[in-house]
Amino acid sequence: MKRIYLILLTTFSITYSYAQSPRSFNSQLESVTVYSLGAELNHKARVSLPAGTSEIILNNMANAIDESSIQVGVPSSVTILSTSFSRDFLKNENKSPAYIKVEDSLQIVKRELNKVQNKRIVEENLLVLLDKNQAIGGVNTGVNVTELMKVADYYKSKQLELRNNIFSLKEAEDIQQKKIARMQQQLQELSHDKTGTTGQIVLQVMATEASTADFNISYLSPNAAWIAFYDLRAENTSSPLKIVYKANVTQSTGLDWKKVKLSLSTGNPSQNGTAPLLSAWFLQFGDPQYAYINKKQAYQNRIQTMETRAPMNDEKVLAEAVIARPLQGQIAGVAMTQNENMLNASFDIEIPYDIASNSKPHSVTLKEFSQPANFKYYSVPKVDGDAFLMAEITNYDKLNLLPGEANIIFENSYVGKSFINPNATTDTLNLSMGRDKKITIKREKIAEQTGVKFIGSSKKQTFTYEIRLRNGKKEAVNLLLKDQYPVSTDKDMEVELLAADGAAINKETGVLTWKLSLKAGATETIRISYSVKYPKDKNILNLQ
């Protein structure tokens, strides 16, 4: 009997421990590692545990978590039986303080609008009533002139009063409606602020004894990211190129990151890490037209790829600077340690950092490099009459650059924006430093040396262009100049290059390249001339 009693008591104790209300504890966010997509958040929580099995709720977690990534570090006396994630539904409202403030103001304005509308309706009803009761005297009874004038004056003043009141009330309504529209726009903007929309991690734990323990919790959240961007600074073409490596960090995890230790990693933990395998490649007959379409698409893709390369090769490409938009929250000169491993690089920011959960970019300066560079100018006057300053750098792979936009500051002036693509397959990285208006280039057709001749059943068109260059700078510059002549795609077309003024000629693409050295204040003229012969009964649409 005693044994049965002990078994029942033990069963009751276990059941009672599970039936207890979950014990809830707040966690503190201590450090964050932000990846190109997603972030690892690390929390600490002090938890009071009873002996035996219990359910623990850890609050102030991100609003979205990859549950498979949850890791909980506990003392040896504690065993984690299970983990799960849930949204915090105990809060009635998951809105930021700024959102609640605007929302309350919106309700006040809506009440005021309702009052104004009610006043207008009363005035309009009174005006209708006044209009319906304008009859004076009975059917057979008239009124004297004095009484008629009194009634007329009353109706006139009362109608004027009512109509003026209605007009004023409509104006007041319009003002309130505009206030409401502005507040609704503000609420729409603030709705991106996910502060307060948090999650919970629920743990089933077993402790050998009652104790207070520190839990270390880490997990991955998809609601954060960072992208690289740069400042390219050069005082002149004889000084090194300064590359300021920066990051735009965004997050909407529901938690404001306050005084956290921040790291940025070039890795992506959400990317599939499984190595690919090859299966058997079986050939089969099919529609030849489909194969032709695929080849055509592949050719078009190849052309597009050629057009996005750096503009120092023979493809006629142009890197163009555009005006940059201002960035928010920029902090310069942040101390940072760069760590590298076989798969990625990380930047550890050495001061605590604040980033709000509002999906807006926050700028962090990571590192500054001073890189030797070979500066030269590049121009394709057939497409654009400006000269672009290019910086060539070598050994750039050690910089761990990522693709990103770059602000260009040359000679202490902001000149525009460019793009850095470090995924080039060449040993040299070409960076566009923007336009230089002090180098003037003009390309014109020479009319007297351009014309058409008829030779039997053929006609021959000759084109001559003159390119005039002037270096208005105080120092000599090197200029890579490109132009082109057409390439025949039909045996009935005969293209002849008549003059190229010493250009390097690519006969496959028709690209002409000059490597020029222009002294300060110097001018130079280059002429190109070519002819195209083809049957006179045909036309070439894109000949110029």
Point out the least confidently predicted range of 45-59, 167-181, 342-356: 342-356
Dihedral over Cα of 317, 321, 324, 330: its sign:
positive
Q: Kindly state whether residues 314 and 426 are assigned to the same domain.
A: yes
Which one of 374, 402, 437 terminates a domain? 437
pLDDT tens digits, residue range 246-277?
999 999 898 889 999 999 988 877 766 677 77
In a domain, 280, yes or no: no
Q: Kindly state whether residues 382 and 455 are assigned to the same domain.
A: no
Whether the pLDDT of residue 153 is over 90: the answer is no
Which pLDDT score is estimated for 414? Answer: 87
Pick the more confident residue, 443 or 94. Answer: 443
Which pLDDT score is estimated for 216? Answer: 95
In a domain, 196, yes or no: no
Q: Kindly state whether residues 241 and 371 are assigned to the same domain.
A: yes
The average confidence (pLDDT) of the chain is: 79
Residue 333 binned pLDDT confidence (cut-offs 50, 70, 90): very low
Which pLDDT score is estimated for 141? Answer: 54
Asked whether 224 and 256 are in contact (CB, 8 A), the reply is no
Which pLDDT score is estimated for 528? Answer: 92
Q: Kindly state whether residues 297 and 400 are assigned to the same domain.
A: yes
Which pLDDT score is estimated for 299? Answer: 39
- Cα separation, 284 vs 290, in Å, equals 13
498's enclosing H/E stretch is strand 494-499
Which one of 437, 466, 482 terminates a domain? 437
In a domain, 458, yes or no: yes
For residue 344, the 8-state DSSP code is -
- Cα separation, 319 vs 389, in Å, equals 10
Rounded mean pLDDT of 286-293? Answer: 51
Point out the least confidently predicted range of 67-76, 312-321, 418-427: 312-321
Whether the pLDDT of residue 417 is over 80: the answer is yes
Output the 3-class SS for 114-137.
HHHHHHHHHHHHHHHHHHHCCCCC
Rounded mean pLDDT of 286-308? Answer: 45
Rounded mean pLDDT of 438-456? Answer: 86
pLDDT tens digits, residue range 229-250?
999 898 888 888 899 989 999 9
Q: Kindly state whether residues 393 and 321 are assigned to the same domain.
A: yes
| Phi, psi dihedral angles at 376 (to 5 degrees) | -150, 160
- Tell me, what amino acid is at 288? P
- The pTM score is 0.58
Q: Which token pair is 224? A: 């954060």
Which pLDDT score is estimated for 135? Answer: 58
Q: What residues contact 449, with CB distance under 8 A and at least 6 apart? A: 462, 464, 529
Q: Kindly state whether residues 54 and 154 are assigned to the same domain.
A: no
In a domain, 422, yes or no: yes
84, β-bridge pairs: 202
Instruction: Specify burial of residue 104 (Cβ count, 10 A radius: 0-12, 13-18, 19+).
Output: exposed
pLDDT tens digits, residue range 486-527?
888 888 888 899 999 999 999 989 999 999 999 999 999 999
Q: Kindly state whether residues 35 and 168 are assigned to the same domain.
A: no
Rounded mean pLDDT of 150-160? Answer: 78
- Cα separation, 370 vs 347, in Å, equals 18
369, β-bridge pairs: 243
DSSP SS3 for 281: coil
In a domain, 542, yes or no: no
Which pLDDT score is estimated for 413? Answer: 85
Q: What is the CATH classification number for the domain harbouring 524?
A: 2.60.40.3680
Count of structural domains within the chain: 4
Rounded mean pLDDT of 121-133? Answer: 80
Residue 312 binned pLDDT confidence (cut-offs 50, 70, 90): very low
Residue 28 binned pLDDT confidence (cut-offs 50, 70, 90): very high
Point out the least confidently predicted range of 46-55, 276-285, 508-517: 276-285
Q: Kindly state whether residues 102 and 43 are assigned to the same domain.
A: no
Residue 20 binned pLDDT confidence (cut-offs 50, 70, 90): low
Whether the pLDDT of residue 456 is over 60: the answer is yes
Q: CA distances (Å), 311 to each of 378, 406, 491, in order?
A: 8, 17, 31
Q: Kindly state whether residues 257 and 211 are assigned to the same domain.
A: no
Which pLDDT score is estimated for 443? Answer: 92
In a domain, 44, yes or no: yes
Rounded mean pLDDT of 119-145? Answer: 70
- Contacts of 99-106 spanning 24+ positions with Cβ under 8 A: 99/187, 99/190, 99/191, 99/193, 102/183, 102/186, 102/187, 102/190, 103/187, 105/183, 106/180, 106/183, 106/184, 106/187
- Tell me, what amino acid is at 243? I
Q: Kindly state whether residues 124 and 161 are assigned to the same domain.
A: yes
CA atoms within 13 A on the CB side of 35: 17
455, β-bridge pairs: 458
- Cα separation, 207 vs 17, in Å, equals 12
Which pLDDT score is estimated for 468? Answer: 95
Q: Which of 234-238, 268-272, 298-302, 335-339 has the highest mean pLDDT?
A: 234-238
Asked whether 20 and 204 are in contact (CB, 8 A), the reply is no
Please, what's the largest Cα pairwise distance for the chain?
126
Q: Kindly state whether residues 210 and 236 are assigned to the same domain.
A: no
Which pLDDT score is estimated for 513? Answer: 94
- Cα separation, 331 vs 365, in Å, equals 6
Asked whether 330 and 209 are in contact (CB, 8 A), the reply is no
**Total count of residues recorded for the chain:** 544
Strands 39-49, 28-34: parallel, antiparallel or unpaired by DSSP?
antiparallel
Q: Which of 11-20, 116-125, 213-222, 323-332 has the highest mean pLDDT?
A: 213-222
Q: Which of 17, 62, 14 is nearest to 40 (CA)?
A: 62
Q: Kindly state whether residues 375 and 233 are assigned to the same domain.
A: yes
Which pLDDT score is estimated for 59? Answer: 92
Whether the pLDDT of residue 422 is over 60: the answer is yes
383, β-bridge pairs: none
Q: Which of 370, 368, 365, 361 is nearest to 349 (CA)?
A: 365
Asked whether 228 and 403 are in contact (CB, 8 A), the reply is yes
Q: Which token pair is 491? A: 């045996």
Point out the least confidently predicted range of 52-56, 188-192, 456-460: 188-192
Residue 136 binned pLDDT confidence (cut-offs 50, 70, 90): low
What is the layout of strands, in order, in the sheet containing 362-371?
Answer: 362-371, 241-251, 224-234, 404-410, 413-420
Which pLDDT score is estimated for 40? Answer: 95
- Tell me, what amino acid is at 26? N
| Phi, psi dihedral angles at 300 (to 5 degrees) | -65, -40
In a domain, 365, yes or no: yes
Asked whether 369 and 416 are in contact (CB, 8 A), the reply is no
Q: Which domain does 36 fall in, by range?
A: 21-81+206-221
In a domain, 14, yes or no: no
Which one of 410, 437, 464 terminates a domain? 437
Which pLDDT score is estimated for 88? Answer: 62
